[in-house]
A and B are shown apart, each in its own frame.
Chain A
Amino acid sequence: MITIALSKGRQLKDFLAYLDQNGHPRWHGALKAAQRELLVETSGIRFLLVKGDDVPTYVEEGIADLGITGSDILAEYNADVNELLELPFGYCHFAIASKEELPEYGTIATKYVNYSRSVFERSEKPVKIIKLNGSVELAAVIGMADAIVDIVQSGETLRMNGLQERVRLDEISARLIANKHAFFTKSAEIRSFMNELKVN
């Protein structure tokens, strides 16, 4: 039995769509049938449905052998895990967005503090970063920050809040991560899961 931590929410929907398209009716059926359950068992696999930010922690601590989470989470949290595969779903990107286009953005609001710091260090621009845990768009709308750094999928949330994407940053997709010890001790199950995912 292997245990796999999955991000709830949008990424789970993307994963379910991927399973549906790639012929995994048992996993798809069991996960889709889960209402508010956080633990789903099917065909020798235990899925844990957790908050996206927590997936690397479950894997690093060995509670889960594998995890599926976004590369945005891995870029932000320096988890000590193996990042085995880039998965073909969960696509979006990081972006700098603001109400008005400015020559420089001196104050940035974001959930991704470490990632944002690395972006502005790369561009050699000093910046003040304000950490927020949600509704990040509001910070740029009410003038708390000149811009935000956030993940963008369709851009609808930005548009609805009167913001525009100014700089497209790194691309994001889902990643399969593994606990460093389970990578060896459960190698047969892990490789079997990887093969079943049918990622080229």
Chain B
Amino acid sequence: MTSFIYNPALIRQKQLEVEFLSFFHGNGFDIIDLPVVETFDWPAMTEDDLRLMPQRESWVQNGTVHALRHDWTNAIVRYLHKYKIDAERAVYSGPVFHSGSETRQLGMEVFSESTARQQEGLSLMIGFMDEQMNDRPRTAVISHYALLPMILGEEKVADPAIQRALSQRSTSALRQLLGDHPLLDLISDQPEAQVHKLRSAFPEIRKVLGELSGWEETLREAGIEAVYPDITALPSQSYYDGVFIRLYGSGRTTPIASGGQYTARSKAFGMGIFY
């Protein structure tokens, strides 16, 4: 016997997925899909794969590691290491699994070096959220992963103790580890004032700060009320190498969407909504 339970929330979720895919398809994005179960060869696992594995739902069968999809951009980057995607812009929807729980992701990727094309993707994303989702993005935190290596040097950024102190914004720990480094002076300031100070303290990073300003402008034009720069952000995966953006709804403490610039085969920008 089959039972039927009418669940308006479930229907709305399915409708949202269709609306999202249709909206982006109507704006020239190709709809893509990838298997929810990913396979890994032991010897070919990268440091990124290994770092993420404890958070993934994984199992070993016939000598091969299988894992449920953890993040769409991650799955696409892994796919791009093996195969080509013909589309220049792609859109997707589907479940992702983190530390024992399932969420759903709606996302888009722009496989283009053109910042203007990437920013157009971001504007469409915010436009869709504004129109179709209950939880509209109000604030954004924006970082650029090229900043810290330029400020501190590659060696210091690779130090696990410094990485921990940076990720926790621990002034005390950073003071112990870095001494009187100008970064300490910077992070004791308001985030809004940090970029200005950074520009005068490190003239060589003006180009990166210029890129950051361009993205900030895109966010503001798309209706984001407050944009906070985060100069001490560290990438969760090594392929993220440019701007990274987290979008927050009103009163929310976890991002409703996040994404950034990465390199896989070529430069790209991807962003996913968690719902």
Contacts and interface: CB of A to CB of B under 8 A. Distances in A.
A188 B253 contact: no
B228 A187 contact: yes
A191 B188 contact: yes
Given A61-B253, A185-B139, A85 B190 contact: no
A85 B171 contact: yes
Nearest to B169: A82
A70 to B, nearest CB: 14
Interface string A159-182: 000000000000000000011111
B138 to A, nearest CB: 9
Contacts of A84: 168-172
Contacts of A188: 190
Contacts of A187: 190-192, 228
Contacts of B173: 83, 86
A interface SS class: mixed
Contacts of A182: 253
B230 A179 contact: no
B226 interface: yes
B139 A178 contact: no
B113 to A, nearest CB: 29
* Size class of the B contact interface (CB-based, 8 Å): 20 to 34
B170 A85 contact: yes
B253 A184 contact: no
B141 interface: yes
Contacts of B139: 184-185
Interface string A46-68: 00000000000000011000000
B197 interface: no
A85 B171 CA distance: 6
B252 interface: yes
Contacts of A89: none
A180 B168 CA distance: 9
Given A187-B191, A191-B190, A85 B172 contact: yes
B188 to A, nearest CB: 7
B274 to A, nearest CB: 15
Contacts of B171: 84-85
B254 A183 contact: no
Nearest to A188: B190
Given A62-B253, A181-B254, A185-B139, A86 B169 contact: no
Contacts of A185: 139, 226, 228, 248
Interface in A53-109: 61-62, 81-86
B258 to A, nearest CB: 12
Contacts of B226: 185
Nearest to B164: A83
B174 to A, nearest CB: 10
Contacts of B168: 81-84
Interface of B: 139, 141, 168-173, 188-192, 226, 228, 230, 248, 252-254
16 contacts: A62-B252, A82-B168, A84-B168, A85-B170, A86-B172, A179-B253, A181-B252, A181-B253, A182-B253, A183-B169, A184-B191, A184-B228, A185-B226, A185-B228, A187-B192, A191-B188
Interface of A: 61-62, 81-86, 178-185, 187-188, 191, 199
